[in-house]
Structure 1
């Protein structure tokens, strides 16, 4: 079981192939050392009188060394691997990455009155014109142009598609709690970045309440 975990971490978390082998060898040595120390201490305790002092020692052997082993192991993982927080949070979807980008629509209650009057926004933020188009054609080939960050205006650009002026394309860089961080697909927080690069990237994202954006089902939207 441990070997499966080690191989999984080495394959998915460590990019450098040499580091992968080094991490695998280091893991096996660490496990062997922990097993030998635990076996030696347990064997030593068997030859002693079973008094209170030995009971305390036994508890240290049973619980202390595995905890110390795990601590040293996690420190070693942090040494061999970049972006530890992201790699821990991504599998449970507390965060997303650019490849998870999709279409989102703005909820009705956050639309301005002028938008309703000018664009005829109907159900769940979709324009009535857009819904009529989908009903008539019933196809995934809805004409659309992806949304990305507009460098000239220094803000997220509005969709150019006349049918869906209230749609945004991107991913949730932070997807937990009442406040979300929504970023365009071009923004990347993984990998090695300087503080200045991270600051510029974060300025391209939107900090929103959870109910402002509603995800559109991939079944009906071309990605």
Structure 2
């Protein structure tokens, strides 16, 4: 039986990234795969469980959100630690799934590029990935809840078939699934999302009066 480890790169154990990780597990489990999902964040202080799992599998799937154009920063830490422990890397297939708030895929593709570059330097076979826009709006709901749900579902299904066959997955799958709208619609959507974020922020007591940690106005040069 073939083995695959799915690594949830999100700090959330429930959300869109985990919904996608579970989809992968369900799909592969009935196709002669032994599948394990591991979470990065609870293991940050001790990555031995992740290292051991990676060493035992034929395929690795990294699933996570897009934070400022790529995966969360601790993903880089994981990759750095893997490079230090290269004995666990022995030609495994590596796939990436990244989802973010923006509807267009080019904003999030750099996360997959990071994995591709890492694989090329560290004895892994990068087999492609899948990008999903508006993942934040899903908040863990199924893909068919997206405005482009049918196309996203169809493209993701093809991606999973590629993973099951250990084949390279083309970027055309997620480019074709991308939601295409006029620029003005994107603008209005961004305003709505910002209002929603502001409302949630105020609901948690995070007001505009809170000093930003990036405010350098008091620094004397």
State the TM-score, normalizing by the size of structure 2: 0.20
The structure having more radius of gyration, on CA atoms, is 1
